[in-house]
Amino acid sequence: MSRQRAIGLDVGGTKIAGGVVDADGTVLTELVEPTPEDSDAEAVLAVLLDIVERLRAKHDDVAAIGVGAAGIVEWPQGRMLWAPNNAYRDWPVREQLEAATGLPAVIDNDANVAALAEARLGPRPYRHLVLITVGTGIGGGLVQDGRIYRGPTGRGAELGHIVLNPDGPVCGCGNHGCFEAYASGTALTRMGREAAADDPDGLIARLGAERGEVTGQTVTAAAGQGDPTALDLFGRLGRWLGVGIASLANIFELEVVVVGGGLVSTGDLLLAPARRAAREFAYAREARATAPIVAATFGGDAGMVGAALLALDEGRTSVG
Amino acid sequence: MSRQRAIGLDVGGTKIAGGVVDADGTVLTELVEPTPEDSDAEAVLAVLLDIVERLRAKHDDVAAIGVGAAGIVEWPQGRMLWAPNNAYRDWPVREQLEAATGLPAVIDNDANVAALAEARLGPRPYRHLVLITVGTGIGGGLVQDGRIYRGPTGRGAELGHIVLNPDGPVCGCGNHGCFEAYASGTALTRMGREAAADDPDGLIARLGAERGEVTGQTVTAAAGQGDPTALDLFGRLGRWLGVGIASLANIFELEVVVVGGGLVSTGDLLLAPARRAAREFAYAREARATAPIVAATFGGDAGMVGAALLALDEGRTSVG
């Protein structure tokens, strides 16, 4: 029984969450700390070890540690190669965690493990699923036949960086017209600022002035008040989300597309236009079903829960 | 030893090729017939059975039949659900071939089996590969860990219909801005006609007038004579090819991207701009290698050879 409980850690650009998680996804205890300002490997490791120590003090039967982190993680070595919003490069997370804790550890991309949690423990089990997280950026996770696809060394499944228009806006990654450049919170901020500049008396501009700047949240607030411009921007954002989903659904044969991340809390404001566009751009509709697009079950906990599930899986594999 | 030889059949929109193929990819005997004008299931089946019979008359040790066909093939049932350029729908190819020949048969998408041939028998074995065929349309095949990816029921890997610009030109499939709408022979024809209309005294227009109409081949001929407009069109076509490849390479972790189909015979005219764009749109270049883009080894025979390889594989599986 002692192998049925693991610590899941979710390392984001702004916060680090850790929890003791059962095999059925129940979170027994959870801790959250801010991501250190400089976010270099040493500082982040110290936070991870502190969370692990405090969680183990309450649960002495933890069998393994799983980490989900934004960025490119070499698999199965658990080396963080590169992260878009953190300073660390070539950081041997798995090796350092195992040495410091004496527990087996696994490290994977945060959206990969979130996809695992949604596939395994969503409303019903799914074996073929894409997860798209719409937050500051776009994260993507892919489950094929019940297993995370990450490519032979973990460098695959960068779904946020498929190209939706090579002449499109610059993405945070430096390329042009990525999915992330069109359908993320950053894209909503960009569109909101353009709208505010176009109409300085409009609600978006006025709310932005009250708050000091226009962000995606300004647009969300304006949409909540029924502002037609803000509603139109959500229609455009959702349409791009649906185009990206359609592109992925033409490659993969999916049972479901799960949308997570902070912006999914806007519900049908985002998902209704996404569903329309995903259907519009679906290939060969008479021979291929269009996968339903649903909101994530685990919300902000998906990375933590999925990381723990993966740790339990790998523990089982290595134990036999 | 009798399980080491199969008939491979490649069913295209204009011709049907069949050959007796060894496990090492050697084509012992090959036959080619035109695709029947009406291309309904009954007429195509008659051609397939005629080719099989003539091949078996020369080789009495054929153990299995493999078919690669353009379109969506239900797997493993071998039912042709839908094809872009043929009239048949819901055609139980596998069942009918097995009943008529007494041999085990497998049916798959033509680009899927071509990808298998390139992965297994190219210059070196590849376990992670994308094949893109640039012909009238764009076909795509995907090999993951040495196996064809087709999704749970064969409806996956429609790589020619990822979206490269939702506001782009209409594709043969009815959607807008597909990879196929930008980087296929059909796209080259469209661009050539636009160029001829813009410059009625240019070489493309003059060659088109001589031949009755402007096609992709007119543009290829003009490029061969150094016509700057035609060279520019190839630069644009190749760039779109590279953008599509980059988008796929950001999803998959690949050892190589193989380009086949009729247009690859233009060599660097197509591949040089494709390589530049694929590199330009590659995600996180400091942490992810850019897969090389190479011309297909098997050219027009890849579908036939791959279909035979798949038949031998499946025969082995079913025999144990």
Give me the residue from B82, B239, B248 closest to A286, CB to CB. B82
Tell me which chain A residues have a C-beta less than 8 angstroms from the C-beta of B166. 164-165, 239-240, 243, 277, 281
Beta-carbon contacts below 8 Å between A and B: 131
Tell me which chain B residues have a C-beta less than 8 angstroms from the C-beta of A163. 164, 243-244, 246-247, 250, 281
* CATH annotation of B127-296: 3.30.420.40
Q: What is the pLDDT of residue A50?
A: 98
Phi/psi at B182 (5° precision): -110, -25
Residues of chain A with pLDDT under 50: 1-2, 318-320
Q: What is the pLDDT of residue B212?
A: 96
Q: Is B180 on the interface with A (CB under 8 A)?
A: no
Domain A126-296 in the same topology as domain A2-118+300-319: yes
Distance CA B105, CA B85 (A): 23
Q: Is B175 on the interface with A (CB under 8 A)?
A: yes
Shortest Cα–Cα distance, B60 to chain A (Å): 37
The tokens of B95 are what?
Answer: 């069942």
Contact B155 A243 (CB under 8 A): no
Omega before B34 cis (within 30°)? no
Q: What is the pLDDT of residues A302-312, one digit of tens each?
A: 999 999 999 99
**Nearest Cα to Cα of residue A81 among A109, A115, A55:** A109
Omega before B76 cis (within 30°)? yes
Q: What is the pLDDT of residues A133-164, one digit of tens each?
A: 999 899 999 999 999 999 999 999 999 999 99
The tokens of B136 are what?
Answer: 């009238």
**Amino acid identity at B58:** K
Q: Is A79 on the interface with B (CB under 8 A)?
A: no
Tell me which chain A residues have a C-beta less than 8 angstroms from the C-beta of B286. 82
Q: What is the pLDDT of residue B312?
A: 96
**Nearest Cα to Cα of residue A120 among A317, A246, A296, A276:** A296
Q: What is the architecture, at CATH level 2, of domain B2-117+300-319?
A: 2-Layer Sandwich (3.30)
The tokens of B44 are what?
Answer: 């195509």
Please list, in sequence order, all residues whose beta carbon lies within 8 angstroms of the beta carbon of residue B53, skipping any fewer than 6 positions away: none
* Diameter of chain B measured on Cα atoms: 66
Contact A158 B82 (CB under 8 A): no
SS3 call for B235? helix
- CA angle, residues B252, B255, B258, in degrees to nearest 5: 90
Distance CA A305, CA A65 (A): 11
Per-domain residue ranges for chain B?
A: 2-117+300-319, 127-296
Residue B292 CA from chain centroid, whole number: 19
Which residue shows structure tokens 């069913």? B11
The tokens of A57 are what?
Answer: 């003090």
Shortest Cα–Cα distance, B272 to chain A (Å): 18
Other beta carbons within 10 angstroms of residue B180's beta carbon come to 29
Q: What is the pLDDT of residue B319?
A: 38
Q: Is A51 on the interface with B (CB under 8 A)?
A: no
Shortest Cα–Cα distance, A181 to chain B (Å): 13
Distance CA A239, CA A46 (A): 42
CATH class of A126-296: alpha beta
Pair A93, A78: CB distance under 8 Å: yes
**Nearest Cα to Cα of residue B282 among B255, B256, B245:** B245
Q: What is the architecture, at CATH level 2, of domain A2-118+300-319?
A: 2-Layer Sandwich (3.30)
Q: What is the pLDDT of residue B294?
A: 97
Phi/psi at A279 (5° precision): -75, -40
Phi/psi at A67 (5° precision): -125, 130
Contact A164 B165 (CB under 8 A): yes
Tell me which chain B residues have a C-beta less than 8 angstroms from the C-beta of A82. 284, 286-287
Q: What is the pLDDT of residue A3?
A: 52
Q: What is the pLDDT of residue A316?
A: 61
Tell me which chain B residues have a C-beta less than 8 angstroms from the C-beta of A173. 283-284
Distance CA B284, CA B253 (A): 12
Q: Is A77 on the interface with B (CB under 8 A)?
A: no
Q: What is the pLDDT of residue A68?
A: 97
pLDDT tens for chain B, residues 1 to 320 = 445 899 999 998 788 999 999 999 999 999 999 999 887 899 999 999 999 999 999 999 999 999 999 999 999 999 999 987 777 889 999 999 999 999 999 999 999 999 999 999 999 999 999 999 999 899 999 999 999 999 999 999 999 999 999 999 999 999 999 999 999 999 999 999 999 999 999 999 999 999 999 999 999 999 999 999 999 999 999 999 999 999 999 999 999 999 999 999 999 999 999 999 999 999 999 899 999 999 999 988 999 999 999 999 987 654 33
Other beta carbons within 10 angstroms of residue A220's beta carbon come to 22
Ramachandran category for residue A146: left, alpha or beta (phi over 0 → left; psi -120 to 50 → alpha) = left
Cα–Cα distances in Å, from A10 out to A7, A112, A155?
A: 10, 12, 19
